Amino acid sequence: MALEIRSVVAGYTREVQILNGMSVSAADGKVTLLLGPNGAGKSTLLKTIYGYLSPEAGEILNDGKSLVGLKPKDMLREGIAYLIQGHSVFIRMTVEENLELGGWIMRNDKARMKDAFERLYARYPRLKEKRRLAAGVLSGGEQRMLEIARLTMTGPKTLLLDEPSVGLMPKLVDEVYEEIARLKEERYTILIVDQNVKKAIGIADYVYALALGENRYEGPRDEIAQRLDEIVKEWI
């Protein structure tokens, strides 16, 4: 079982569809990478999976259950968490409050909430140290860690990551990818989009190369990695 996107057509207006029958499958416990030039529809695909856009045609199945028609607010309950592009911490709230909001859907389950905090604070000691500080005073790298930690509060099965390393210094990019590698070890199903192709392909299991809302190439990591230069050249 997995997250399956089959022949999805979607866009912001009826006249202009960004996704023209795209099919992607994210296998359980694996990292699936989406490559492609700007406008290929990578981010749009993530948005469509998460319910921001409703597909005109095609299917989106999560372990066999259709996600079409669900709203973004329903997705965490389906076990899918989404890291949106750019900054998304609530800068005027404390680190702890940010994490608490990550557990919004289980806010009435005190025991589960407590467990989640213990688990995350054990794993991210730096966030524990700074838990009473406003998230806005954290460094860029720490904010990104907080975002990732917040994603896993409710223990989702699948993570959608949209450009997790964009706008970060090279040293921090390494940190973010170490973190993603750890998540992979913990058997999260990860669907990732990133401009940093070299880094991303390093942790991927399976890769899709997309162009103009359609599938172009796909294959296991090693196969695509060999042809990477050729694929990237096509974008220019």
Residues that bind other proteins (CB under 8 A): 50, 72-77, 81-84, 88-93, 97, 100-102, 104-105, 107, 150
Letter for the amino acid at 145? M
Query: Least distance to other proteins from the beta carbon of 155, Å?
Result: 13
Report the residue number, 39 or 72, with the smaller CB distance to other proteins: 72
DSSP 153: T
Q: Give the whole-angstrom CA distance, residue 74 versus residue 68.
A: 11
Of 72, 25, 31, residue with least CA distance to 48: 72
CA angle 223, 229, 232 (to 5 degrees): 105
Whose Cβ is closer to other proteins: residue 89's or residue 190's? 89
CB of 137 to other proteins, least distance (A): 14
Dist CA 67 CA 24 (whole Å)? 14
Alpha carbons 179 and 81: distance in angstroms, whole number: 16
φ, ψ at 35 (rounded to 5°):
-110, 165
Query: Of 77 and 187, which CB lies nearer to other proteins in the complex structure?
Result: 77
* C-beta neighbour count of 51 within 10 angstroms: 20
Nearer to other proteins (CB atom), residue 73 or residue 182 = 73
Nearest approach, Cβ of residue 206 and other proteins (Å): 24
CB of 7 to other proteins, least distance (A): 25
Nearer to other proteins, 153 or 197 (CB): 153
Among candidate residues 135, 3, 12, the one with its CA nearest the CA of residue 67: 3
Least Å from the CB of residue 171 to other proteins: 25
